[in-house]
Structure 1
Amino acid sequence: MEANQRIARISAHLHPSNPQMEREHAILRRDGCRAKGGAPGFKVAILGAAGGIGQPLAMLMKMNPLVSVLHLYDVVNSPGVTADISHMDTGAVVRGFLGQQQLESALTGVDLVVIPAGVPRKPGMTRDDLFNINAGIVKTLCEGIAKCCPNAIVNLISNPVNSTVPIAAEVFKKAGTYDPKKLLGVTMLDVVRANTFVAEVLGLDPREVNVPVVGGHAGVTILPLLSQVKPPCSFTPEETEYLTKRIQDGGTEVVQAYAAVKFADACLRGLRGDAGIVECAFVASQVTELPFFASKVKLGRGGAEEVHQLGPLNEYERTGETGYFGVYH
């Protein structure tokens, strides 16, 4: 009898769609679930957890010691992903949610929402094609966030970020929940790539390199500030051109997942109150005449609590800042 009860509790935990199980095992309900994590931490939801970015992202978030509860939502295949991820012997409690009818349950009480949902850009697909598909997905998900966790920090990965972030902002404005500090377009992929490529040129460990990347998150809107690389260094015009183009043009889903979890971890450390957390993100900004711009931001309990100015730019970067960003998707 006791064994059957334990099995029922596990089933209710992994698949919280059965109201009877939810009632019978109140200890695993959403309002009490955080206390059952391996350690104190934050409640995180991944929307699009069964996709090419979502699956490795879910695995990496399960390994993050700042996560006590991890909700995995998708319109397909989330039960299988949830089962796999839940077997990992790390502290976070994992729960799966399938289909739009469970979206609100997935979002209830969440501190951080990470959104890789949507389709990737495929050969022959324009950014307009991508936008037309993913815009509707982002709109639906953000309507759920506005209703169920309006104070959560939102990390938006769904491409094209240059356009999906403004869409999310409009959804939140309509709902009366918009906080520009808490809506962050994830451009960390550009930073990760820039750090790696610059480290190759300098012969350094990429973990020792920090390259600010500003602008947008598509093609020529991406501008690595090679004049502000740490540790300080200089590049020839040829190296600058080569590195800039390489950073603008590369991309893979697995690296995107790594970058996404790196940025999510920075947000969680900010929520915890750690000092000095500064990363690049695509945010509402007054740095340029554009309403949204990827910049270095200070992360804290309120999200992007400070948007940094661009700082001194060299001639190449000034040309990029004024010339690249007229068209955003």
Structure 2
Amino acid sequence: MQRLAVLSGHLRPVSGGEASALERQATAAPSTLPPGAKPKVAVLGAGGGIGQPLAMLFKLHPGIGELSLYDVVGTAGVAADISHIDTSVKVSHFTGPDKLAGALYGCHLVIIPAGVPRKPGMTRDDLFNINAGIVKTLCEGVAKYCPDAWVAIISNPVNSTVPIAAEVFKRAGTFNQGKLLGVTKLDVCRANAFVAEAIGVPPEQMDVPVVGGHAGITILPLLSKATPRVELSPEKAQALTERIQNAGTEVVEAKAGKGSATLSMAYAAYKFGESCLRAMTGAEGVTEYAYVASNVTQLPYFASKLRLGINGVEEYYPLGRLNELEEKNLAALQDELQKSIEKGVEFARKA
């Protein structure tokens, strides 16, 4: 409750002596990664249900130099806890809006799970009024203190918060289409798990493309393109599609008002962040699914398969041929996704 009570601190500009000093130095510390250097990763919202396990997972990553934890309350405790893990990743912590500059300064990858979670009966859109303002303020900090960083947004509704972030960066003159990514990896993980269960193969062997957005019917699993090949009746395919689309609600209801999908989301975000780190440090052939500014469809933002490189997104893969059910579901999602995008853009431009 204390954390929720102080979230409103993100709805006002960052201020304070530390922020001002770091802002004056911002151009002196580029957040692009020098050859051979280990990246600095920030988790904004590290005290929350996703942030805590996500921070722990990143503490285990051998390729990270520093892990910067930020939240409005409880950050010191999370940092103290994971600092007892015997890995060499340095952990720093920052609490409150006036410490945001310190958390972000010099970061190469910023992951944002900050905000309030869903509760029973809530949709992702119900979170908009609080989380939209939080994402806007945090991204204003990113634009000032680590403008070249990769930014991975988890805060829901992702269909709207990514466009909000883009507008913030455009206004600041720091927008890089290839480095702003909405994390939809959990949809892929769920699709792999559910389809594997349905056809009787190990989930580790499944690869199900999931495109579109990150809420309800905007989530579009392409079961016809799954590997290994999946033979399903239209009825079974639609049932699986709907389960993947409603999986977040499944968790919210199972937790009976005590949380949302935090552990699976942290796992998915870590796997996605791991791909980003591999790409920015020069690995080749890194592919992921993410919700990004895109021309793959007529929609300005869309989740699809991407190839990542040192500069962010370097290739946008076409959807290819879809079956009749997938074409129908693609058509059905477009109006809702467009409205969510417009809602985010309008919020950012008016704020």
Paired with 2:72 and 2:124, the residues of 1 have a C-alpha distance of 23
Specify which of 208, 211, 217 is matched with residue 208 of structure 2: 211
The answer to whether the 8 A contact 1:214-1:295 is kept is yes
The alignment's TM-score, normalised by the length of structure 1, stands at: 0.87
Q: How many residues align structurally?
A: 296
Q: Give the conservation status (yes or no) of the 8 Å contact 2:124–2:215.
A: no
Identity %: 60
Q: How big is the shift at 1:158?
A: 0.2
Q: Which residue of the partner structure matches residue 331 of structure 2? A: 322
Pairwise CA RMSD: 1.8
CA deviation profile, 1:89-145 (whole Å, cap 9, x unmatched):
112100111111110010011000000000012223344431111000000000000
Instruction: Kindly indicate whether structure 1 or structure 2 has the higher relative contact order, using CA contacts under 8 Å at least 6 residues apart.
Output: 2
Q: List alignment gaps of at least 5 residues for structure 2.
A: 1-15, 19-28, 30-35, 249-260, 341-351
* Bigger Cα Rg: 1
SS in 2 for 1:297: strand
Post-superposition shift, 1:233? 2.6
Question: Structure 2: how far apart are the matches of 1:162 and 1:282?
Answer: 8
Displacement, 1:58?
0.3
* Structure 2 contact 212–303 (Cα < 8 Å) conserved: yes
Q: Which amino acid aligns with 1:185?
A: G
Question: What corresponds to 1:262 in structure 2?
Answer: 271
- Work out the CA distance in 2 between the residues paired with 1:176 and 1:47: 22
| Separation (CA, whole Å) in 2 of partners of 1:64 and 1:92 | 8
- Indicate if the aligned counterparts of 1:40 and 1:66 stay in contact, CA closer than 8 A: no
Q: Does the Cα contact within 8 Å between 2:115 and 2:130 map onto a contact in 1?
A: yes
Q: Structure 2 vs 1, CA of residues 132 and 18 (structure 1 numbering), >3 Å: closer, same or farther?
A: closer
SS of residue in 1 equivalent to 2:46: coil
* Mapped contact 2:108–2:146 kept (Cα < 8 A): yes
Report the counterpart of residue 299 of structure 1 in structure 2.
308
1:86 matched to 2:79? The reply is no
Equivalences for residues 91-170 of structure 1 within 5 A = 91-170=88-167
Q: Is the 8 A contact 1:41 1:65 kept in 2?
A: no
Q: Is 1:63 the counterpart of 2:60 in the alignment?
A: yes
Q: TM-score if structure 2 supplies the norm length? A: 0.82
Change (3 A) 1:212 1:265: same
Residue type matched to 1:244 in 2? T
Corresponding residue for residue 35 of structure 1 = none
In structure 1, the gaps of 5 or more residues are: 1-16, 20-30, 32-38
Counterpart position of 2:177: 180
